[in-house]
Structure 1
């Protein structure tokens, strides 16, 4: 059935998809003549995942867009339709008969489903609206007695920067107070001293890059303007449920920085030029200082690294020695697979939060050893690795569960899907029929009354090309 909504008319027009389907069919390896075919993929407004081979460039020349212009044109046709309909991302699968008759199934979107990564299968299913993975809910622990570093000196900091930047335009006390109101947190004295010297606005530098670079070199980072300061709390860090649920928060006894996703006491004020955020830390770890400078890596979603004991040290070029602390017990995240732990028993301890079972070549595994563990909240199991999926019923604290389609089928048929879940995912192999995976996803969404993945079928005829 074709959706007749005029805003999605182009998306649901077979002609929009025809060039993409023809390219996918032409690229199918070893397809016997006169046999049906199935193709699938995902196209978003900013990228796509399609099984298309790139054409090699002529010898001696680098690859260029023109070498695969037909692919770019075909995808762009769909992307324009998505943009017109206000759709960010859509997956599809198509069944093509030997005569060329085609049933194109468009899948999604749903506000309760994250897009899949590199596949037409759905990503994480958000069973509880607004829910967050446990690490994203974690707040900093109080550290009694924590105070500024001895080297923190707002007067020295301000004097040093004024000597380096005699023509800089500083922020007024009114502007600083307005920033504090906006952020909802008082700025530490060193940060106030920094912005009294320069408020880091491009218009103050006459949009001159060299002037900006002098400020950045003097401070030790690419400084945000006063109006750009923000609190680097957990929601400010991007996450995907299926990945974030496998993270764990750990702060070692000797750590200077708490192992958090974010904190209401992390005030972001700069960038290292490579996408990593610099922040003043007002909620330090057991061995840290209030006002220390930390860096949040753009390649990670949890934790931060200590750069300097205070802003004064950062400006004076005195890096900190980070006493990260040694692990004081078994890891909160355990991975059982052919390259890591070789049994579930080896992963068991009271602090286990995440159990991930990967590729496995031996007999399927029993979950009995982890039944009753007080903190276990995440279980991911590669298809075929569990001896009895119904043992999951004994894991009463799960908030995230990722299983293969057959394992989910067992739980659904037995009415044994854990009601403690906030999110779930289906681990589907590449050759799994997207329609069957979406059917299971919709059964799970329906159990929580969440919006289903919409399936729209569009019929058409690819003609002689499909009959080759």
Structure 2
């Protein structure tokens, strides 16, 4: 038996759950649930308030930390990334603990015990992650791009820098599988940006100031293609690639022509863009935000411009587009308003009126994602008419209706179960496993541990 499946591993945490949730656990059907993974956890225990005027101290939560650390150690020893749990504990201290492991076909839930997206087709990714850049006729470098001028400017600013050799540049090109643009080669001929050449931040800072970013060494250059920008299905399926005719940068998740060479110090990546938008330049400098799933912002028309003139950031404002529609109390007022031949993603959120019909969007050629808040659909069986769906997120009751009628669209690549409020996780896990079984996918596993506290 692996350590994560031993009752003694969980006993200290179960005791805290028992003492902090006695009334809740004693009620009919009473239970508590949570999730623990490496470096993170969500457990329903009370954290003691510090005295007035004093900040919380580690010792105020020491019991919780110690109990969770015991589970973290068992996770590591068992080779398990994370586990959700449901605990039922009688007033006499008899504990029944259900451990839930998602397995390879279910993404972890976000901060709770319920499963994340259910992967019905192995290796499938949302449509925006399958999109490649569109060719742009006449795309060319900015007239001000000048590798020789760039190199002279950097040598003046960094007279003592150690540059990369041609062999090192060639090795980087071979690793990346593409030829580096001439401006990027000119930069690395001046400085190879290796930490061992500096030794500390004070020595590295002049290089960062001269270039305009925290420069990566050649062996850390990478191509920011779509695979490098991972996102859970439940968020990724809600995105759409949209590139307006006047855009400088294509609204992609990633591109084989985005070569990352630095960081802005806050986790956002700087890249040379070799696949620009309709109004962009080949070799322009873009910023790939770490808090966004899609798109990038223009920093400068060229690397020469970035170094000589500094960044001139132009944010790619997310315009309202017919590809993605939100029907809820704060956005569109009906499904009819969302219906458009370009519609790819339809989200039906909190709604104060009568449940809505999906009839207006039946037959739309590009609709691939539907997310519906509990109680918003007049007839869930209308979903069977949406024959191009790749991702579907519904409340358990709506999934039950589809499953019982054998009406779950076979076009689905992934699915989500929309859970709100205090719902028991185990029926949700059973529902997820029923969906997985329809696609012959590995189920989530449940292990039951019992003991006395």
Q: Distance in 2 between matches of 1:34 and 1:423?
A: 36
User: What SS class does the counterpart of residue 85 from structure 2 fall into?
Assistant: strand
Which residue is equivalent to 2:175? Answer: 182
Q: How does 1:64-463 map to 2 (within 5 A)?
A: 64-205=57-198, 207-320=199-312, 322=314, 330-462=321-453
Q: Which runs of 5+ in 1 are unaligned?
A: 1-5, 463-468
Q: Distance in 2 between matches of 1:343 and 1:234?
A: 33
Which residue is equivalent to 1:53? Answer: 46
TM-aligned CA deviation for residue 361 of structure 1: 2.3
User: What SS class does the counterpart of residue 95 from structure 1 fall into?
Assistant: strand
Q: Deviations over 1:99-124 (max 9, x none)?
A: 33222111113111110012101000
User: Structure 2 vs 1, CA of residues 80 and 60 (structure 1 numbering), >3 Å: closer, same or farther?
Assistant: same
Q: Deviations over 1:272-324 (max 9, x none)?
A: 11111000000000000000000001111100000000000000124447495
User: Structure 2 vs 1, CA of residues 331 and 170 (structure 1 numbering), >3 Å: closer, same or farther?
Assistant: same
Q: Distance in 2 between matches of 1:301 and 1:34?
A: 43
TM-aligned CA deviation for residue 24 of structure 1: 2.2
TM-aligned CA deviation for residue 19 of structure 1: 2.0
Q: Distance in 2 between matches of 1:26 and 1:87?
A: 28
TM-aligned CA deviation for residue 343 of structure 1: 1.1
User: What SS class does the counterpart of residue 406 from structure 1 fall into?
Assistant: helix
Q: Distance in 1 between matches of 2:18 and 2:365?
A: 51
User: Structure 2 vs 1, CA of residues 114 and 63 (structure 1 numbering), >3 Å: closer, same or farther?
Assistant: same
Q: Deviations over 1:310-344 (max 9, x none)?
A: 000000124447495895x8431111112222211
Assess if the C-alpha contact under 8 Å between 1:21 and 1:39 holds in 2.
no
Which residue is equivalent to 1:466? Answer: none
Q: Distance in 2 between matches of 1:33 and 1:267?
A: 58
Q: Distance in 1 between matches of 2:181 and 2:408?
A: 49
Q: Distance in 1 between matches of 2:368 and 2:259?
A: 30
TM-score by length of 1: 0.94
User: What SS class does the counterpart of residue 157 from structure 1 fall into?
Assistant: helix
Q: Distance in 2 between matches of 1:147 and 1:325?
A: 24
Larger mean Cα displacement after TM superposition, 192-201 or 100-109:
100-109
Assess if the C-alpha contact under 8 Å between 1:39 and 1:95 holds in 2.
yes
Larger mean Cα displacement after TM superposition, 361-370 or 265-274:
361-370
User: What SS class does the counterpart of residue 331 from structure 1 fall into?
Assistant: coil
Counterpart among 16, 20, 23 of residue 13 in structure 2: 20
Assess if the C-alpha contact under 8 Å between 1:254 and 1:325 holds in 2.
no
Larger mean Cα displacement after TM superposition, 347-356 or 53-62:
53-62
User: Structure 2 vs 1, CA of residues 165 and 102 (structure 1 numbering), >3 Å: closer, same or farther?
Assistant: same
Assess if the C-alpha contact under 8 Å between 1:338 and 1:359 holds in 2.
yes
User: Structure 2 vs 1, CA of residues 212 and 307 (structure 1 numbering), >3 Å: closer, same or farther?
Assistant: same
Question: What is the number of residues matched between the two proteins?
Answer: 453
User: Structure 2 vs 1, CA of residues 278 and 32 (structure 1 numbering), >3 Å: closer, same or farther?
Assistant: closer
Q: Distance in 1 between matches of 2:18 and 2:117?
A: 29
Assess if the C-alpha contact under 8 Å between 1:49 and 1:119 holds in 2.
yes
Q: Distance in 1 between matches of 2:360 and 2:432?
A: 28
Q: Deviations over 1:195-247 (max 9, x none)?
A: 00001001122x13222111110001000001111001111112101110001
Larger mean Cα displacement after TM superposition, 223-232 or 426-435:
426-435
TM-aligned CA deviation for residue 358 of structure 1: 1.1
Q: Which runs of 5+ in 2 are unaligned?
A: none
